[in-house]
């Protein structure tokens, strides 16, 4: 592997370790040769998401222009053109190695562009159209890396797991998304529970949910659990070497919902998180359940990356 490609994979790994601690921990349960490819997909999706969510004074048009320019460079790389981007060589190589469907990447970038202009969704079906690109396709991107004896049968559970993870994030991050001017929970459902945008803003300011908001969140937790249930049959379809990773990810992300339940569905009081000791316990149980595990599977991310606070594409800040 040449130096620029190795550096791109390392940059993606560092981003994953720093910004996606739960998923990074689960990824350590994969065989080492697979991990870098998962890191590459994470790095790609994370950077696109950060362009969209950047709050440092950039206007929506400036972010749209940056996303369009970065997407164009990605497409140029797919056509064999040179890219000087420090992240893209890793994902371009991963796509080539596993022949990942390029339509998934088109849908993903389309959903990222939607975040620049769409701030709410009327119905759950409308939200699902967005999540098809922002989440479901990430599940299907992963399938060639995870491997399956029946990829066609495993495709729908993989989509459902992506949807389950995304909806879990939306439930947990209502306050954070509201600060960015977005409400992902559909307006139709807000009205059904008697919750307005003003109610959400008031709860964010008070750091306390009203009973109506708690009822709304309870409903969405139950909806997320349905997606997890639809995803569960896909894990045994994966290659044995990939099952521990996805079992851990499934349990850890599902554990966020358990934490939300434990705090009485009040997502404004604090950001729900699975305690570190429980994450380690889940990871260890998945390791012990596997016939053989590499010695380096517990490369646990610390509170800060070795390099400090990471810039998304450049050197440590």
Mean pLDDT of 55-82: 90
- Provide the 10 A C-beta neighbour count for residue 66: 15
Q: What confidence score (pLDDT) does residue 38 get? A: 97
Report DSSP state, residue 132.
I
Q: Residues 6 or more apart from 258 whose CB is under 8 A from it?
A: 274
Nearest to 301 by CA among 24, 45, 13, 15: 24
Band (308; pLDDT cuts 50, 70, 90) = very low
Whether the pLDDT of residue 113 is over 90: the answer is yes
Mean pLDDT of 121-143: 98
Q: What confidence score (pLDDT) does residue 306 get? A: 31
Written as one string, the DSSP assignment of 100-124 is: --HHHHHHHHHHHHHTTT--B-SSH
Reduced to 3 states, what is the DSSP secondary structure of residue 265? coil
Band (301; pLDDT cuts 50, 70, 90) = very low
Report DSSP state, residue 314.
S
Percent of the chain exceeding pLDDT 90 equals 80
Q: What confidence score (pLDDT) does residue 224 get? A: 98
Cα 31 to Cα 274: distance, rounded to the nearest angstrom: 25
Cα 83 to Cα 80: distance, rounded to the nearest angstrom: 9
Report DSSP state, residue 233.
G
Q: What confidence score (pLDDT) does residue 290 get? A: 60
Mean pLDDT (the chain) is 90
Cα 221 to Cα 285: distance, rounded to the nearest angstrom: 25
Q: What confidence score (pLDDT) does residue 289 get? A: 78
Nearest to 235 by CA among 222, 224, 244, 223: 244
Mean pLDDT of 223-237: 97
Q: What confidence score (pLDDT) does residue 149 get? A: 87
Supply 134's token pair: 């922002």
Phi, psi (deg, nearest 5) at residue 310: -90, 135
**Helix and strand tally (H, E) in the chain?**
15, 0
Q: What confidence score (pLDDT) does residue 55 get? A: 62
Q: What confidence score (pLDDT) does residue 19 get? A: 86
pLDDT in tens, 260-298: 999 999 999 999 999 999 999 998 898 887 644 333 333
Q: What confidence score (pLDDT) does residue 20 get? A: 86
Of the listed ranges 17-31, 32-46, 180-194, the least confidently predicted one is 17-31
User: How far is residue 235 CA from its own chain's centroid?
Assistant: 18
Of the listed ranges 98-107, 241-250, 284-293, the least confidently predicted one is 284-293
Q: Residues 6 or more apart from 229 whose CB is under 8 A from it?
A: none
Q: What confidence score (pLDDT) does residue 9 get? A: 96
Tokens 């499934």 correspond to 250
Cα 248 to Cα 35: distance, rounded to the nearest angstrom: 15
Q: What confidence score (pLDDT) does residue 148 get? A: 93
CATH of region 3-289: 1.10.600.10
Of the listed ranges 17-21, 138-142, 309-313, the least confidently predicted one is 309-313
Report DSSP state, residue 291.
S
- What number of residues does the chain have? 317
Q: What confidence score (pLDDT) does residue 209 get? A: 98
Q: Residues 6 or more apart from 144 whose CB is under 8 A from it?
A: 98, 99, 100, 151
pLDDT in tens, 157-209: 999 999 999 999 999 999 999 999 999 999 999 999 999 999 999 999 999 99
Q: Residues 6 or more apart from 8 whose CB is under 8 A from it?
A: 40, 86, 87, 88, 89, 90, 93
Q: Is 147 left (phi over 0), alpha (psi -120 to 50) or beta?
A: left
Mean pLDDT of 47-71: 89
Q: Give 238's strand partners.
A: 148
């Amino acid at each position: 592997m040449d130096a620029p490609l190795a550096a791109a994979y390392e940059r993606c790994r560092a981003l994953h370790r720093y910004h996606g601690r739960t998923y990074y921990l689960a990824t350590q349960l994969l065989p080492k040769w697979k991990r870098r490819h998962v890191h590459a997909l994470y790095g790609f999706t994370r950077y696109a998401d950060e362009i969209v969510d950047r709050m440092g004074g950039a206007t929506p048009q400036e972010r749209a222009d940056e996303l369009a320019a970065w997407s164009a460079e990605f497409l140029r790389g797919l056509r064999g053109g040179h890219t000087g981007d420090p992240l893209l060589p890793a994902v371009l190589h991963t796509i080539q190695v596993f022949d990942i469907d390029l339509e998934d990447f088109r849908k993903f970038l389309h959903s990222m562009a939607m975040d620049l202009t769409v701030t709410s969704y009327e119905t759950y079906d409308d939200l699902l159209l967005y999540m098809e690109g922002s989440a479901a396709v990430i599940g299907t991107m992963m399938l060639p890396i995870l491997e399956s004896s029946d990829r066609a049968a495993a495709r729908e559970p993989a989509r459902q797991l992506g949807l389950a993870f995304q909806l879990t994030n939306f439930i947990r991050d209502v306050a954070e998304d509201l600060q960015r001017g977005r409400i992902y929970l559909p307006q139709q459902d807000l009205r059904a529970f008697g919750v307005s945008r003003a109610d959400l803003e008031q709860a964010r300011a008070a750091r306390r949910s009203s009973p109506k908001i708690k009822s709304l969140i309870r409903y969405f937790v139950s909806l997320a659990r349905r997606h997890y249930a639809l995803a569960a049959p896909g894990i045994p379809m994966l290659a044995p070497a990939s099952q521990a990773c996805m079992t851990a990810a499934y349990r850890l992300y599902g554990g966020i919902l358990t934490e939300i339940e434990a705090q009485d569905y009040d997502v404004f009081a604090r950001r729900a998180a699975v305690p570190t000791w429980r994450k380690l316990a889940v990871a260890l149980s998945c390791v012990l359940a596997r016939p053989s595990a590499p010695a380096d599977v517990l490369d646990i991310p610390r509170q800060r990356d070795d390099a400090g606070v990471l810039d998304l594409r450049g050197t440590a800040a």
